Structure 1
């Protein structure tokens, strides 16, 4: 019988579960031993190595492209293309994108287990699509600053590709493009000012994130073709919301940097309280409903908001020695609290 390969941590969890079922008389001793013999510990995390290798490959590719423009010989070579029409570059990147998508789709059909190599091809195709749309903007929209229609086009392209290719990575590009479209559309209708309907960018994106999260929870599951991407939309929506709200707690709803520098931080304390309350509520909700995503994001931003307020109100008002001593003590209490929560979870499983 072929054995199931598990990491050391996964093997310990499975064995702990089997022992629990044996103690609860759900499985007899012989069956438990038989099941334990069917699992073995992995010798090396090749999947993790593959993930990091592909990430390094993508980063290296980006640096390679940047290095081209730092090389004098390459700069002189590229200068020869300055007079090349933008439509040529647009068509070139369109062809590159199609090539990567075709390769990615074929690999996914032929080698579905090669997750990282397939997603890398999709990612490269997504970058090429963005370049194609950028040059298309130069071709079609030379005299105006209204680029939002191009972002809508990119959203449509990414959405269709993510559904057709069943790629969550491309769906992330769809949601990022949606955020860029929202930013540019609201900026365009406010004559490229910092405020739209009395809201600056952090406040706008806080509401945008809430709407996206709401759609992911209640709307997306009703659309059959988008159901596989519900969890992705949920995570991205929460990140939009919490990052924007954290920025709002620092900068407030001011229309310029100069206006913000003229006020004291306690004048916008209510945004900080809201950020802390929302992140704490999200963490508690996640703990109660066993939603690890909500719990982790809520806990991270709860700590981030607490320490942001700590630095804002104490950095210029107390001695540095006392500041760092309070910081150390507070982190010790956070560690103790986390340890108690973890211990409580372990004891409840026994």
Structure 2
């Protein structure tokens, strides 16, 4: 069996430790060492990173094409292609890539990253098709939220039909984008919607999405999307809570600058309380997602408060000394916990 170099070194150390502790004899140690072999180079990881870079470059290229008027005008002059034609061509290629990608998943399931790259390319072309379809129907109203809502249903339907969590993730991203733009449009792009600024709105959105994920878990037809929906809801919820603890429910940066950060302490308490509740829930019901989100964002909140309250008042030497000591203590505690967990 071939393993990564780091894993090989780790196994060597553990086998040597077991021999020193008398748990295994020398012959057993030799047999264990001969049962695995260190890889000279991790080609799978290289493939993964290469596809990530390729997809990122493709995403940047597509975004540049959509927002750069000079490029669009140049393409119009050269090709004189109507928006609806671009939309139809993009949709056709996207459909072909969806079929190709999922056929390859069945026949060439070992080529995981290249298959996902094909599906991801289809997702980008779907977005391109929706965008150009919207441009072809644009009447100057500025209400483009319907296009984002259409993308939610398209991605959601495709994700459900192909049983693809990757496509489902984009449906959830589109859903969040639709919620933000729709509430902005309904409030005529004012800062408040029903008395809530954007962070507070997305706290509600994240909480609703998280609750909806548990409903999906109870339904056999949507159970396979529970985990990804649950994590997405928690991401929306906890990032929004953190932003709310920093900016409060203020409408603009000018108003936020005019108040002392200490006056927003109650938002920080609410955020910390949710983190603690999530951690306790995760510990009680063995929910790793809830526990890790709670602990992670509790630390993020604590360090955010530390920077807010002491950056200006403390000497920088003292500030960073305390910061270094806190991280050292966390590292020591994490090391002890890891050793205990490993020896179980």
Q: TM-score, normalised by structure 2?
A: 0.84
Distance 1:138 1:77 in 2: 17
8 Å Cα contact 1:152/1:181 also seen in 2 = yes
Alpha-carbon deviations, 1:297-331, whole Å to 9, x = none?
22221221111100101111111111111111221
Distance 1:140 1:236 in 2: 32
8 Å Cα contact 2:155/2:167 also seen in 1 = yes
Three-state SS of the structure 1 residue aligned to 2:221 is helix
More moved, 59-68 vs 81-90: 59-68
Q: Counterpart of 2:332?
A: 336
Q: 2:126 aligned to 108, 129, 132, which one?
A: 129
8 Å Cα contact 1:126/1:170 also seen in 2 = yes
Distance 1:222 1:286 in 2: 19
Q: Counterpart of 2:217?
A: 221
Q: Counterpart of 1:23?
A: none
How large is the RMSD of aligned CA atoms in angstroms? 3.5
Q: 2:89 aligned to 87, 92, 109, which one?
A: 92
Distance 2:78 2:98 in 1: 26
More moved, 251-260 vs 134-143: 134-143
Q: Closer, same or farther in 2 for the Cα pair 1:200/1:82, shift >3 Å?
A: farther
Q: 2:272 aligned to 255, 262, 276, which one?
A: 276
Distance 1:342 1:174 in 2: 37
Distance 1:341 1:335 in 2: 10
Q: Counterpart of 2:253?
A: 257
Q: CA deviation at 1:237?
A: 0.9
More moved, 273-282 vs 207-216: 273-282
Distance 1:66 1:6 in 2: 39
Aligned residues: 335
More moved, 157-166 vs 54-63: 54-63
Q: CA deviation at 1:74?
A: 7.6
Q: Closer, same or farther in 2 for the Cα pair 1:105/1:207, shift >3 Å?
A: same
Gaps of 5+ in 2: 19-24
Distance 1:195 1:63 in 2: 31
Residues 171-320 of structure 1: pairs in structure 2 closer than 5 A: 171-216=168-213, 218-320=214-316
Distance 2:334 2:281 in 1: 16
More moved, 77-86 vs 292-301: 77-86
Three-state SS of the structure 1 residue aligned to 2:192 is coil
Q: Closer, same or farther in 2 for the Cα pair 1:319/1:281, shift >3 Å?
A: same
Distance 1:207 1:36 in 2: 53
8 Å Cα contact 1:119/1:167 also seen in 2 = no
Q: TM-score, normalised by structure 1?
A: 0.83
Is structure 2 residue 149 aligned with structure 1 residue 152? yes
Is structure 2 residue 159 aligned with structure 1 residue 162? yes
Is structure 2 residue 117 aligned with structure 1 residue 115? no
Distance 1:138 1:79 in 2: 13
Q: Closer, same or farther in 2 for the Cα pair 1:62/1:174, shift >3 Å?
A: closer
Q: Counterpart of 1:321?
A: 317
Q: Closer, same or farther in 2 for the Cα pair 1:68/1:198, shift >3 Å?
A: closer
Distance 2:164 2:63 in 1: 28
Distance 2:129 2:172 in 1: 18
Distance 2:314 2:242 in 1: 24
Q: CA deviation at 1:210?
A: 1.1
Q: Closer, same or farther in 2 for the Cα pair 1:287/1:39, shift >3 Å?
A: farther
